[in-house]
Amino acid sequence: MSAHPPTLPASPGRVFLWRLALAGVLTMVATAFGLGGGSVLLHHKFAQAKSVRVDLDKALPGSMNMLLLGSDSRAFVEDEGDKSSFGDTRLVGGQRADVIIIARVEPKARRAILVSIPRDTLVRLPRYRGQVLINQSFEEGPQGVINAIKSNFGVPIHHYAQIDFDGFRKMVDAIGGVRMYVPAPSRDRPNDPKNRGTGLDIKKAGCQVFDGKTALAWVRSRYFQYYEAGRWRSDPTSDIGRISRQQDFIRRLMNQAIEKGAFNPIRANRLADAAMANLTVDDTFNVKDALRMVQAFRPVGTQGVEMVALPTKPSGVHLAVSAEAQPLIARLRGEGDPAAVGAANGKGPKVAPSEVKVRVLNGTGAPGQAGDAAADLGAVGFGTGGLGDADRFGYGNTEIRYGPGAQPKAALLARYLGGVGKFVSDSTVRGADVVLVTGGDWKGVTPPPGSANQAAAPASTPTTAAPTTTTAKGASSSSSPAPAGGPAQPVC
């Protein structure tokens, strides 16, 4: 037994945090064909996927947990362009699983949830003393990850799937790219000059169409920077921000795959070919299981699928599972009914910060205000839905914008803002539950009395708004930069 885990060598391959498209690949293909009535074609396509034998739990009627892993294999790399973006097998040998997602599908209840487990989450593995990163469980292959999830969380795994770089890239290109909203100019800039990064370089905020190469750069970015109030800033939400960006992309990819493929046989066929050529599933997964996914996803649509990160808290430079994760883990075990939470008191479902994804936009021009606010909200458990400038500077009042059905989430956020926050109903909100636009009355983040975070997270110091000057039309202002934000809300 090793006393300490091995130290992995630094290399360009270590920049890959792959938590993305495989969470939607099976559901996209199955749903696209299922909605179009193509079950025979679906059967044929699934026969093309590779299979592997693993020891799994027996699925119960009415529910299914599928473990989704992402592989960073460079076996497909052939040309110089791919080597520049991904490295090659000489620099990055073998493969690793840098994404761990549990997809729970409950066809009878008509619901589904995707739970991302950060790779830096600490767990216990039999071959090591003390706690190590869950990502290291893949040293023993997919079975090692399955065993780690079962022994640490008590969560059964009924099926397994894995996809690699090339499959994801080809899937995006097969549907003609994916429309995305980018709240700020963005780039990937590692501190180490020897590290190539992902090549992400988006110069303008707003709606864009990502091809496969750009999509990979976006979801793989570990050194994400965004442009706010005249400066490039590193994403303060780190791994959680990365998961949030990836989950937003998953949802858009699923939506557009169904939209473009369900009634277009040629495009659906290309999508299926791209997915299945780079997909590995367990040897018991079959078309019947895929159609059960269709049954679960059809009534709610992709917007109704929950996508969350397992709640964690800092533990040194790594992460530990927090107490807030227990209800979610219980649901993955089949022990909890989320619809019943809070029903007993007649107040409807109770909302926790971890269930609220907030996009923060700087509405004053104060340096770093959006980043500081997002980091403070993350410290008390809120999810992140992106950062950047608002469409203009000079907001007098802080705004809390929310979409249909998100009023309880907006109300919860307001409790953490020290009494500020004007509620604005906005049906165009996408990629986040709530949009926070900081204004001149911004006071920072203050956990409310009685909350679990009150003692652990002291109130943040508000960033003072930059002085503003009235400027004649067409003239420039030297007191603050022009906002680099896109439209007030995306309509992508």
Average pLDDT for residues 122-127, to the nearest whole number?
93
pTM for the structure as a whole: 0.74
Interacting residues of 181 by C-beta distance below 8 A, sequence separation 6+: 206, 207, 208, 430, 431, 486, 490, 492
Give per-residue pLDDT as tens, 197-252.
889 999 999 889 999 999 989 988 889 999 999 999 999 877 778 888 888 888 88
Average pLDDT for residues 127-138, to the nearest whole number?
90
Q: Is the pLDDT confidence value at 476 over 70?
A: no
Q: What is the reported pLDDT for 383? A: 87
Give per-residue pLDDT as tens, 140-163.
889 999 999 999 999 999 999 887
In this structure, how many other beta carbons lie within 10 angstroms of the beta carbon of residue 128? 16
DSSP letters, 443-486, are: ----PPTT-TTTTTSPPPPPPPPPP-----TT---SSSPPP---
Q: What is the reported pLDDT for 22? A: 38
Asked whether the domain spanning 352-492 has the same topology as the one spanning 12-333, the reply is no
DSSP state of 139: G
Of the two residues 121 and 5, the one the predictor is more confident about is 121
Residue 84's φ and ψ, nearest 5 degrees, are -65, -35
Q: Is the pLDDT confidence value at 84 over 60?
A: no
Instruction: Band the pLDDT of 41: cuts 50, 70, 90.
Output: low
CATH of domain 352-492: 3.30.70.2390
Alpha helices in 334-461 (DSSP H): 369-379, 407-415
Of 19-28, 53-62, 140-149, give the range with the top mean pLDDT.
Answer: 140-149
Q: What is the reported pLDDT for 17? A: 26
Of 108-112, 317-321, 337-341, give the range with the top mean pLDDT.
Answer: 317-321
Q: What is the reported pLDDT for 15? A: 25
Q: Which CATH number fits domain 12-333: 3.40.50.720, 3.40.630.190, 3.10.310.10, 3.30.1780.10?
A: 3.40.630.190
Give per-residue pLDDT as tens, 399-417.
999 988 899 999 999 999 9
Give per-residue burial for 97-107: e unless 16+ CB within 10 Å, then b. Answer: bbbbbbbbbbb
Q: Is the pLDDT confidence value at 169 over 50?
A: yes
Q: What is the reported pLDDT for 80? A: 52
Q: What is the reported pLDDT for 76? A: 41
Q: Is the pLDDT confidence value at 133 over 70?
A: yes
Give per-residue pLDDT as tens, 343-359.
333 344 578 888 899 99
- Structural domain spans, the chain: 12-333, 352-492
Instruction: Band the pLDDT of 342: cuts 50, 70, 90.
Output: very low
Of the two residues 432 and 264, the one the predictor is more confident about is 432
Contact, 463 vs 372, CB < 8 A? yes
Q: What is the reported pLDDT for 175? A: 85
Average pLDDT for residues 79-97, to the nearest whole number?
49
Average pLDDT for residues 86-111, to the nearest whole number?
64
Q: What is the reported pLDDT for 139? A: 85
Of the two residues 453 and 46, the one the predictor is more confident about is 46
Alpha-carbon dihedral of residues 330, 332, 333, 338, nearest 10 degrees?
A: 50
Average pLDDT for residues 267-281, to the nearest whole number?
76
Q: Is the pLDDT confidence value at 292 over 70?
A: no
Lowest-pLDDT range of 306-320, 327-341, 346-360: 327-341
DSSP state of 313: E
Q: Is the pLDDT confidence value at 3 over 50?
A: no
Instruction: Band the pLDDT of 45: cuts 50, 70, 90.
Output: low
